[in-house]
């Protein structure tokens, strides 16, 4: 019986240690070090870096050593995106992971620079790590990871999703438009996490395709669940305010499908994610368990 809770705790602790050592080595300015640490070491679930490691483990029998820095880079990009999204000019959120957001705790200028620093740091981490590689295949793997990461975070990925999200406040979307927006805003980065792990683990083409499909399904399920939690969740347990989507006139799955149907939809997406892994052996156990965990958050 696979113990997901223990797996997540172990990986979180490994990731936190690695991130701490990166920040210690890479950030010298005292205020930046403190704002970067504050933002990275909140109550993050570390879902994205864990997905990267779990994906690597699904195709490789090595432990996590080779993939850990890449997983940390992905968490840096995720954290940067939260800091900038929370800014007054964007979502203007005061609470994140149970704590004041970066611009509230520090100031706006520091929050902008902290986000910039974390985004840049991600690419520094990956390129640093690549310096130890010698074979053309390994070097190409790192470049592929950088390509995947920059595309997913970039203006045909997360940033386009964010731009659409802002543009669409108060505009009624149909299901296809909503799905496209989420696919860009959160889906692209979740896919990049799973794909990066697969690439470093030298996944074969069919494995890579199936892992990509898995990622697309759980990415969407994650967003549907997030929308549900914004209606039904407990702000204290979630560490962020709820009911905010309705106030801002955001397009959400419960708003579009109704709460009941949104829950059924999330459930069916998880089923599809699991089917994408049907040809994988027991090394995909963590990925399978994480799929379930993604919607269980909402119960």
Question: Closer CB to a copy of itself, residue 141 or residue 225?
Answer: 141
Question: What is the number of other CB atoms lying within 10 angstroms of the CB of residue 35?
Answer: 25
Exactly one of 71, 149, 276, 277 binds a copy of itself (CB under 8 A); which one?
A: 149
* Using rule CB under 8 A, residue 294 touches a copy of itself: no
Question: Closer CB to a copy of itself, residue 134 or residue 279?
Answer: 134
The CA distance from 299 to 291, in Å, is 14
* Using rule CB under 8 A, residue 154 touches a copy of itself: yes
Q: How far is the CB of 33 from a copy of itself (least distance, A)?
A: 8
Backbone angles phi and psi of 56, in degrees to 5: -60, -45
How big is the CA angle at 122 (ends 117 and 128), to the nearest 5 degrees?
115
Q: Which one of the spans 29-37, 63-71, 257-265, 269-277 is the region binding a copy of itself (CB under 8 A)?
A: 29-37
Q: Which one of the spans 122-130, 215-223, 242-250, 275-283 is the region binding a copy of itself (CB under 8 A)?
A: 122-130
The CA distance from 140 to 79, in Å, is 26
Question: Closer CB to a copy of itself, residue 54 or residue 181?
Answer: 181
Q: How far is the CB of 31 from a copy of itself (least distance, A)?
A: 6
Question: What is the number of other CB atoms lying within 10 angstroms of the CB of residue 272?
Answer: 16
The angle that helices 136-153 and 68-86 make with each other, rounded to 10 degrees, is 10
State the residue for tokens 């149970």: 98
The burial class, CB within 10 Å (0-12 / 13-18 / 19+), for 177 is middle
The CA distance from 295 to 20, in Å, is 29
Question: Closer CB to a copy of itself, residue 168 or residue 280?
Answer: 168
* Using rule CB under 8 A, residue 155 touches a copy of itself: yes
Tokens standing for residue 206: 């069919």
Q: Which one of the spans 145-153, 191-199, 217-225, 268-276 is the region binding a copy of itself (CB under 8 A)?
A: 145-153
DSSP state of 47: H
Question: Closer CB to a copy of itself, residue 83 or residue 228?
Answer: 83
DSSP SS3 for 104: helix
Q: How far is the CB of 111 from a copy of itself (least distance, A)?
A: 8
Question: Closer CB to a copy of itself, residue 180 or residue 241?
Answer: 180
* Using rule CB under 8 A, residue 296 touches a copy of itself: no
The CA distance from 68 to 58, in Å, is 15
Max Cα separation, the chain?
Answer: 54
* Using rule CB under 8 A, residue 285 touches a copy of itself: no
Tokens standing for residue 189: 């980065």
Total chain residues near a copy of itself (CB under 8 A): 54
Contacts to a copy of itself by CB under 8 A: 26-29, 31-32, 36, 84, 87, 89-90, 107-110, 112-113, 115-117, 119-121, 123-124, 126-128, 130-131, 134-136, 139-140, 142-144, 146-147, 149-151, 153-156, 159-160, 162-164, 166-167
């Amino acid at each position: 019986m696979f113990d997901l809770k223990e797996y997540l705790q172990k990986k979180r602790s490994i990731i936190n240690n690695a991130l701490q050592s990166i920040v210690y080595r890479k950030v010298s300015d005292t205020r930046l070090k403190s704002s970067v640490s504050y933002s990275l070491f909140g109550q993050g679930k570390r879902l994205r870096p864990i997905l990267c490691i779990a994906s690597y483990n699904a195709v490789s029998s090595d432990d996590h050593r080779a993939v850990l820095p890449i997983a940390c880079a992905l968490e840096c990009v995720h954290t940067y995106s939260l800091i900038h999204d929370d800014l007054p000019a964007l979502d203007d959120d005061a609470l994140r992971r149970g704590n004041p957001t970066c611009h509230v705790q520090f100031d706006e200028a520091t929050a902008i620079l902290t986000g910039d620093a974390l985004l840049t740091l991600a690419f520094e981490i990956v390129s640093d790590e690549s310096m130890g590689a010698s074979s053309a295949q390994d070097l190409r793997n790192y470049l592929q990871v950088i390509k995947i990461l920059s595309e997913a975070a970039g203006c045909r990925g997360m940033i386009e999703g964010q731009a659409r999200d802002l543009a669409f406040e108060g505009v009624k979307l149909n299901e296809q438009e909503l799905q496209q927006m989420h696919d860009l805003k959160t889906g692209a980065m979740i896919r990049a996490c799973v794909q990066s792990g697969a690439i470093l683990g030298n996944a074969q083409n069919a494995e890579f395709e199936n892992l990509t499909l898995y990622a697309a399904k759980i990415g969407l399920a994650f967003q549907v669940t997030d929308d549900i939690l914004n209606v039904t969740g407990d702000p204290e347990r979630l560490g962020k305010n709820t009911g905010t989507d309705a106030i801002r006139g955001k397009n959400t799955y419960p708003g579009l499908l109704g709460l009941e149907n949104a829950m059924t939809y999330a459930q069916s997406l998880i089923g599809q994610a699991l089917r994408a892994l049907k040809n994988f052996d027991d090394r995909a156990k963590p990925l399978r368990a994480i799929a379930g965990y993604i919607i269980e958050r909402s119960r």
